[in-house]
Amino acid sequence: MLRSNPYKWWNWLAFVAAMVVNALANTAVLGGKTTGEISDQYPTMITPEGYAFTIWSLIYVLLLGFLLYQSGRVTETRDSVRSIGPWFIISCVLNIAWLLLWQYEYIELSLVAMVLLLLSLFVIYRRTRSIYYPTSGEMWLIKLPFSLYFGWLSVAVILNIAIVLKKNGWNGFGLSELVWAVVFLLAGALIAILVSYPYRDSIYPLVFVWGYVAIALEQQDQVERAFIAALILAIILFVYAIYLFFARSRDRD
């Protein structure tokens, strides 16, 4: 076994770089507008209330926890840590690329970068799910951060697809924007179920619940049926997440 984690300092460097770009994006230094201001230019029926994006703060705090864990003298050589290393670096680079493209309003290209970021997180997620008999550190500082991160990127990709279609004046094959909003919401709920069920991962669908409640609150005064659809799906996914939690506990026993 290697004495140290060869990706340890590269992980730190990539994460710090991503945080710097995030800070610049949210203070309008890049492109003259904040990330939220650009999003507001393309309102859709699945746009959530602004508070939903505060989940990024939790994600980044948990990723910082992962970095501290992978830097520990005892934990840095764990297979669970080293197998993630190169993909974590890739995810940070793609996070930076997505933000830069978004800030300079290359919206379509930013979606491509976001999808690639989602794929890199999917690889990490699969690897975290293959950790058998995880320690408490692996549960809280490896599995949890990447379930949350992968979950929110899944929601964000769906939202950004809607934004790209809105920007380009897509006519929806003659169907109304409301119909497509419901289709997107249903597709997201189906993804949440299909991804999480094999791993009995209750965190992943809970992220969709967070997003869907925020969508419902944003749309309650705009489109009543979009509000109802988002709220009903949020309730269904919440119940499903509770089921997964107890199913996982039962499987352990």
- The band of 172, judged by pLDDT with boundaries at 50, 70 and 90, is confident
pLDDT at 132: 84
pLDDT at 138: 95
Global pTM?
A: 0.94
Tell me the pLDDT tens digit for each residue of 68-119.
999 998 898 898 999 999 999 999 999 999 999 999 999 999 999 999 999 9
Q: Report yes or no on 110 lying in a domain.
A: yes
Q: Report yes or no on 234 lying in a domain.
A: yes
Q: Report yes or no on 200 lying in a domain.
A: yes
Task: Tally the domains of the chain.
Answer: 1
Tell me the pLDDT tens digit for each residue of 211-251.
999 999 998 877 778 889 999 999 999 999 999 999 987 66
Q: Report yes or no on 94 lying in a domain.
A: yes
Q: Report yes or no on 2 lying in a domain.
A: no
pLDDT at 4: 76
Question: Which domain does 86 fall in, by range?
Answer: 8-252
Give the Cα separation of 53 and 43 in Å (integer). 15
Is the confidence at residue 1, as pLDDT, over 50? no
Provide DSSP, 178-238: HHHHHHHHHHHHHHHHHHHGGGT-SHHHHHHHHHHHHHHHHHTTT-HHHHHHHHHHHHHHH
Residue position matching structure tokens 């659809």? 229
Q: Report yes or no on 169 lying in a domain.
A: yes
